[in-house]
Each structure stands twice: as C-alpha cells, then as structure tokens.
Amino acid sequence: MVDLATDYMNDAIDRADKISGVISGTTKKPDYHSQEGAKTPRLTYSIAKILLNKSPLHAWHRHPLLGGQSIKPSRAMDIGSIGHDLLLGGGDPIDVLDYDSFRTKLAQEEKAQSYTDGHIPVLRKDYEKIEFIVGKVNEQLLIYCPEFFEIHENEFPVIWTAENGVECQSKYDWMSSKTGLMIDLKFTTDSSPDKCVKKIIDMGYDVQEAFYTEAFNKTYPDMAGRTNWKFIFIETEEPHAISVIETDSTFKELGRMKMNYALDAWKACLESNIWPGYGKTTVEAPGWAVYKMGEK
C-alpha cells in the first residue's frame, strides 16, 4: 500500500515538474481568476464569501473586473497551492529557488519575477517539505478516500448561470462528472474534526460546497441530486494527518441559504451599481466586558 502511494506521489511530482517554471520557462498562462472576456462580472465562491463575511463594498473591491485589488500571496497560501499542484497537477507553474531565505535582494527579485510570470516561487527546503507531506497524504488517501485515485478531472473550471440570472464561475480541485463526486483540498495546521467544523464556518466552506454543487447541477443536469461533496483537510504540521469530512443536511442547508443571499445581493448591486459597506448599526456590550467591570 505504501509503495502504491509512493508511486502515485512520484507521478504527481512528475506532473508538477513538467508544468513548473523550472522546466517550462516563464510563459505566463491565462489566469482563470482574471475573468478576461466576461461580459459581466461573474460571482465566484471567494467573492461571495467576502460579500457575506464583510460587505458588498469589500466584494466590489476584490473583484478583478471591478475594484481589482487582489490579495498579496503569503507563504501559507503558496504552500497550499503547491500542495494542490503536487497532489492534483494542473495548477500554476512552480519556481523552486535555491536560497536559504528570501531576505537577500537577489532572492527578492527572483521571487517578484516569479509572481509576475504567474508562477509560484518556493524555497527548495520548503518544496522538499511539501513533497514529504504529499507522500504522507497519499498513504492516508488510499485508506480513507481511495476514490481520490479514480478517473476524474483536476482543476476543472465551469461557467454557469444561477436561478436568478447571475453569471458565475467555479473551479473544482477534483471532480467526476460520471459519479457526481467532488473533492476539495484544504491545507491547515490542525485537521481534527472539531477544528474542521470551525474552519467550515469561519472560512465559509459551507458556501463553497453549496456554490460548487449548484455549479455541478447546472453543468450536468442529468446528474442533479446525485452529487457528493467531500472536504479533505490536510495538516501542514507533523504527523500530517488528514480528515475526510462530509457535511450533514443542516450544514448543506445553511450553505444554500448563504449562497442564495449572496446571489441576490450580487444581482441587486450589479443592477443598481450601489455597493454598500458596513453602514450604521448599534452594538451591544459583550457579557464578558460587563462582567469584568462588575468585578472591579
């Protein structure tokens, strides 16, 4: 079993190397997130999450066709992206750089150029650590989620229209149009089930499940109602345990409610071109603050 996992890991690494900047040069591939050519700003799960957790104004600010302000990549984000590439293939090219750190001027310049080229820069020591994590993950996937190794589509983008007419786009980590199974990988410091529940709420992953399930139903209507969604949470710290998480009906309904609210809010904002921020509100003193003062 371990040998099979190792073989799959090596195949995954080979796929990532073939698309990496180290081998393929610096040709910049089309950016899925740019929405280039879209006639109207499409709603994505990540923008819907910002709208729900922050405000429509924040969603406008981050959308590539509106405010256009992207998040600066962090080390944790890059590690997650590279882990995705090695496990799935088909992600952004990877530049493995031979520096001890990114503190020197030359290392900073190469790092910046890598991002400009649409690649992911990574120190060799970090890349080797991610390779090790991938090996541990594959061993566990063979036990807890063997369907991960079945025929499927990786990094698969779809453009779809919601019931209220809003144009949307989604990109699956792992998806099978034959079985209706969708799998999404999440890298985290703690993949214990209790922590995963909190992550699903805090990070809006319930919205993602609803959003991507609806995308699947619209793209493959013959499979509507026969889908299955699985999160795979992967620890970046030793021993690199994974949790294969499926949500219950209450979680699914919560995600659908949030998704529908976001779709309606997005439509209203597009039609009115009004993107409200936080506005006015009355806040209540938290009980712990009142109790703390009472103790004095």
DSSP letters, 246-259, are ---HHHHHHHHHHH
Same domain, 48 and 103: no
> What mean pLDDT do residues 180-209 have?
96
Residue 71 is predicted with a pLDDT of: 77
| Mean pLDDT, residues 83-96 | 86
Find the range with the poorest average confidence among 14-23, 93-102, 153-162, 185-194.
14-23
Q: Do residues 270 and 184 both lie within one domain? A: yes
Burial grade of 86 (CB within 10 A; 0-12, 13-18, 19 or more): buried
Residues whose CB falls within 8 Å of the CB of residue 50, separated by 6 or more in sequence, listed in order: 58, 59, 62
171 and 239 housed in the same domain? yes
- Based on the domain organization, do 170 and 45 belong to the same domain? yes
Task: Give the domain-ending residue among 111, 144, 177.
Answer: 144
Same domain for 245 and 128: no
Same-domain status, 158 and 261: yes
Tell me, what DSSP letter sits at residue 43? B
Residues 200 and 124 in one domain: no
Range of the domain at 154: 36-64+146-279
| Domain-located, residue 284 | no
Q: Are residues 227 and 175 in the same domain?
A: yes
Same domain, 201 and 269: yes
Domain boundary among 110, 144, 178: 144
Q: How many domains does the chain have?
A: 2
Note the pLDDT of residue 30: 55
Q: Is residue 287 part of a domain?
A: no
Report, as an integer, the average pLDDT of 254-262.
98
The band of 2, judged by pLDDT with boundaries at 50, 70 and 90, is: very low
Please report the pLDDT score of residue 75 as a whole number. Answer: 77
Tell me, yes or no, whether 176 and 240 share the same domain.
yes
* Per-residue pLDDT band at 210 (split at 50, 70, 90): very high
> How large is the average pLDDT for residues 45-73?
93
For residue 151, what is the domain's CATH number? 3.90.320.10
DSSP 223-243: GTT--EEEEEEEESSTT--EE
**Between 268 and 5, whose confidence is greater?**
268
Residues 150 and 140 grouped into a single domain:
no
**pLDDT on residue 188:** 94
Per-residue confidence at 259, pLDDT binned at 50, 70, 90?
Answer: very high
Whether 292 is in a domain gets the answer: no
- Rounded to the nearest integer, the mean pLDDT of the chain is 88
**296 part of a folded domain:** no
The answer to whether position 161 is within a domain reads: yes
Of the three residues 120, 144, 168, the one that is the final residue of a domain is 144
Residues 92-117: pLDDT tens digits? Answer: 888 999 988 988 999 989 998 998 88
What is the value of pTM for the model shown?
Answer: 0.83
Q: Are residues 184 and 256 in the same domain?
A: yes
Backbone torsions φ then ψ of 182, nearest 5 degrees: -125, 135
CA dist 81 → 47, 183, 248 (Å): 19, 15, 28
pLDDT at 20: 36
**Average of per-residue pLDDT across 203-211:** 97
Distance of CA 102 to the CA centre of its chain: 25
Average pLDDT, stretch 199-207? 96
Position 52 pLDDT exceeds 90: yes
Whether pLDDT at 230 is above 70: yes
For residue 289, being part of any structural domain is answered with: no
144-171 pLDDT per residue, tens: 999 999 999 999 999 999 999 999 999 9
| Mean of pLDDT values over 249-278 | 97
